């Protein structure tokens, strides 16, 4: 393959001049620019980014490490990241951890070896271990979607999980429900925990007997939602409303409810966190608290890029975006 030297020779200039022209850096004359560009085309020259990165210490690559790219919430978030990164001339590497700490560590190791310029991380655990590992290597990092212990000195972009959950449950209570169950994700994940906290707040505030609180922890998956719902539907007295802590859980719950011969919302009401994309559902049905996934990705990327260029303020930022309540059929009408 042709190198920068080949181009330089062919154009009758020094290689550093070619470099300047390729990178639009420093001074060069239009005449040489034309000669160099012609040589590049003739030789089919493709710059070697490995060499460039080795020398310049910048790769123009960001990494997005998340837990489940098949979840439309994260797919949308990833789009936000990619668009913001692309605008700034960066490409993005996506990594999928499946909520596995081991996978997370494996990927972080590889990404640091790869000398990525920055990392956007949806952490699998609520500890600062991974963050410290990354920061020890000197690579900027922004945490997405989840809280970390306050000793972690890192930027965070996430949503109002507590408030979103609070408002969803408040809605159900306003419709006359008292026996409301929450079906959540892994207890170790902050969003799962926060949505339960919001649920408890609404229940307590409504003066509902604490013994009526029904909390289930599982995974943020359809199958886990199915299993948790099966359990909860056997509780006596049966809850009149279910709160699914994310979209995939909601689908599993809906399936379990229907398999039990019940209808939503006639026999049992439902609300959920996170919407499902219009292109995968035949008609929107769930009453949901929607997180601005795309904006979350965008904001986090902008923050990361600001860190890279040193534009960001010294201290760490925590950006907390609001959720949006969308009321559809699944929550049903008021009961008496």
Partner DNA sequence: TTGTATGCGTTATCAC
Partner DNA sequence: GTGATAACGCATACAA
Q: Where are the alpha helices (DSSP H) in 206-320?
A: 222-233, 247-259, 293-308
Beta strands in 56-179 (DSSP E): 61-66, 91-96, 118-121, 141-144, 155-159
Q: Which is nearer to DNA, 52 or 79 (CB)?
A: 52
Full strand arrangement of the beta sheet holding 180-184: 214-217, 180-184, 241-244, 269-273, 287-290, 324-326
Binding mask 2-21 for DNA (x = CB under 7 A): -xxx-------xxxxx-xx-
51 belongs to the binding site for its own copies (CB under 8 A): yes
Q: Which is nearer to its own copies, 181 or 219 (CB)?
A: 219
What is the tally of helices (H) and strands (E) in the chain? 12, 12
Q: Cα–chain-centroid distance for residue 205?
A: 31
Shortest Cβ distance from residue 153 to its own copies (Å)?
A: 18
Interface with its own copies: number of residues (CB under 8 A): 46
**Taking each helix axis from N to C terminus, what angle separates 4-11 and 15-23, rounded to the nearest 10 degrees?**
110
CA pair distance 236, 232, nearest whole angstrom: 9
Omega prior to 237 cis, within 30 of 0: yes
Shortest Cβ distance from residue 153 to DNA (Å)?
A: 25
7 belongs to the binding site for its own copies (CB under 8 A): no
309 belongs to the binding site for its own copies (CB under 8 A): no
CA pair distance 286, 311, nearest whole angstrom: 41
According to DSSP, residue 278 is labeled G
| Part in contact with its own copies (CB under 8 A); list of ranges 166-174, 275-283, 292-300, 316-324 | 275-283
The item of its own copies, DNA, none sharing an interface with residue 216, based on CB under 5 to 8 Å by kind, is none
Q: Which is nearer to DNA, 57 or 211 (CB)?
A: 57
22 belongs to the binding site for DNA (CB under 7 A): yes
Binding mask 123-162 for its own copies (x = CB under 8 A): -------------xxx------------------------
Binding mask 39-78 for DNA (x = CB under 7 A): --------xx--xx-xxx----------------------
Give residues 62-101 in contact with its own copies (rule: CB under 8 A): 69-70, 72, 75, 82, 91, 93-94, 96
Q: Can you tell me which residue has the tokens 């429900």? A: 177
According to DSSP, residue 330 is labeled G
Q: Are 171 and 149 in contact (CB under 8 A)?
A: no
For residue 170 the two structure tokens come to 């408040």
Residues that bind its own copies (CB under 8 A): 1, 44, 46-51, 53-54, 59, 69-70, 72, 75, 82, 91, 93-94, 96, 109-110, 112-115, 136-138, 221-223, 248, 251-252, 254-255, 258, 276-283
């Amino acid at each position: 393959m042709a190198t920068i030297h080949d181009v330089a020779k062919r154009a009758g200039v020094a290689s550093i001049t070619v470099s300047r022209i390729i990178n639009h850096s420093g001074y060069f004359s239009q005449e040489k620019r034309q000669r160099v560009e012609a040589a590049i085309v003739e030789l089919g020259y493709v710059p070697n980014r490995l060499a460039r990165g080795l020398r310049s210490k910048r790769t123009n690559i960001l990494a997005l490490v998340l837990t489940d790219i098949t979840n439309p919430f994260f797919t949308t978030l990833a789009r936000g990241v990619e668009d913001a990164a692309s605008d700034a001339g960066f490409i993005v590497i996506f990594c999928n951890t499946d909520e596995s700490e081991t996978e997370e560590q494996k990927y972080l190791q590889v990404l640091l070896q790869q000398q990525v310029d920055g990392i956007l991380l949806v952490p699998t655990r609520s500890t600062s271990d991974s963050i410290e590992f990354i920061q020890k290597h000197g690579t900027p990092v922004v945490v997405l979607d989840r809280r970390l212990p306050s000793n972690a000195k890192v930027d965070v972009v996430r949503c109002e999980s507590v408030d979103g959950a609070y408002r969803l449950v408040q809605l159900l209570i306003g419709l006359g429900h008292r026996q409301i169950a929450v079906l959540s994700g892994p207890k170790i994940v902050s969003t799962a925990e926060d949505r339960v906290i919001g649920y408890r707040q609404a229940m307590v505030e409504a003066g509902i007997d604490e013994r009526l609180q029904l909390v289930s922890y599982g995974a943020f998956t359809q199958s886990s939602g199915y299993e948790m719902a099966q359990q909860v539907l056997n509780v006596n007295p049966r809850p009149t409303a279910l709160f699914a802590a994310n979209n995939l859980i909601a689908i599993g719950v809906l399936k379990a409810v229907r398999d039990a011969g019940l209808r939503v919302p006639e026999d049992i009401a439902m609300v959920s966190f996170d919407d499902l994309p219009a292109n995968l559902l035949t008609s929107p049905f769930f009453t949901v608290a929607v997180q601005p996934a795309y904006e979350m990705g965008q904001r986090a990327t902008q923050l990361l890029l600001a860190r890279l260029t040193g534009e960001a303020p010294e201290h760490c930022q925590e950006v907390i975006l609001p959720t949006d309540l969308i009321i559809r059929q699944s929550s049903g009408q008021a009961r008496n």
